[in-house]
Structure 1
Amino acid sequence: MSISARNQLTGKIESIQEGAVNAIVTLKLAGGNNITSTISMEAVKDLGLVSGKEATAVIKATEVMIGIGDLKLSARNQFAGEIVKVTEGAVNANVALKTDGGNTITATISMTAVKELGLAPGVKAKAVIKATSVMMAV
């Protein structure tokens, strides 16, 4: 299956914290980064997710935020890195950040935010993704 989501990060499931309705699934990515997903227990069972199984975290670029500096947020997924590409449009831009772990994460953000944050190749930044915005695929 091919999908339009720009961010597809493959790794191995490190842990599954089960709740009554939802689970928190932690995926260990190449380069040492972890990404966390909050998905339903039904999805965990349907996908056959277990520790050690290979899976892919799927995130739409519109669900990725970009921040500068020391961020204290409730979002579980915060990836430090460097902006490698900014593709500007009339209203929005696609911003690619290479994480310190070597993964590339793309965000679609407003041109206003790009200008206010001074985003350009070489700028240190963080990609921020809420765990509820991370889908899992096998």
Structure 2
Amino acid sequence: MSVSARNQLSGVVASVTEGAVNNEVVLTLDGGETLTTVITRASSNTLGLVPGKAAIALVKAPWVILASANSGLVFSARNQFRGKVTSVIPGAVNSTIHLVTGSGLVLTSTITNESVAEMQVSVGSELIALIKASSVILATKA
């Protein structure tokens, strides 16, 4: 698949909880992690999402929020992945951060250079990647 979203996470639908307007869809990712998404009921039906169906979750790098692992905060984001920074690629305004979890899930985030400095992000830093359920786009093969 050729799309601009840096995070393309393959998985299988574990559950679909129907709502009046939106459905909650939980994917079991290839590495065993779960990813919760919220998409419209119409989109869920169009994609034919049912347990066992393969799907790809697309998450743009700016939608992956990073927090210090020892922040002492509790977050409302449904998806929280603890991992270590494997690379920091600085740009003029933003930096691209690559993170890998203990189970091997690789995530890419884009944050400001100011945040990199304030959080003292460097290779080996332990961070939590936060992804809101509504920031996930689902795709299936045609």
Structure 2 matches for 1:39-118, cutoff 5 A?
39-68=39-68, 69=70, 70-118=72-120
Output the CA distance in 2 between the equivalents of 1:105 and 1:21. Answer: 29
Output the CA distance in 1 between the equivalents of 2:73 and 2:128. Answer: 9
* RMSD value, Cα: 0.9
Q: Assess if the C-alpha contact under 8 Å between 1:21 and 1:41 holds in 2.
A: yes
**TM-score, with structure 2 as normaliser:** 0.94
Letter in 2 for 1:4: S
2:135 is aligned to: 133
Deviations 1:90-138 (A, max 9, x none): 1100001101221111001000100111111111111101000001001
Query: Sequence identity of aligned pairs in percent?
Result: 45
Q: Where in structure 1 are there 5+ consecutive unaligned residues?
A: none
- Indicate the SS of the match to 1:31: coil
Output the CA distance in 1 between the equivalents of 2:73 and 2:23. Answer: 25
Question: May I ask how many residue pairs the two structures share in their alignment?
Answer: 138
Output the CA distance in 1 between the equivalents of 2:94 and 2:102. Answer: 25
Output the CA distance in 1 between the equivalents of 2:119 and 2:46. Answer: 41
2:38 is aligned to: 38
Letter in 1 for 2:12: K
Deviation at 1:30, TM superposition (A): 2.2
Output the CA distance in 2 between the equivalents of 1:124 and 1:2. Answer: 30
1:27 is aligned to: 27
Output the CA distance in 2 between the equivalents of 1:103 and 1:58. Answer: 14
Output the CA distance in 1 between the equivalents of 2:25 and 2:113. Answer: 33
Deviations 1:65-84 (A, max 9, x none): 11112431111011001000
* 4+ long deviations beyond 3 Å: none
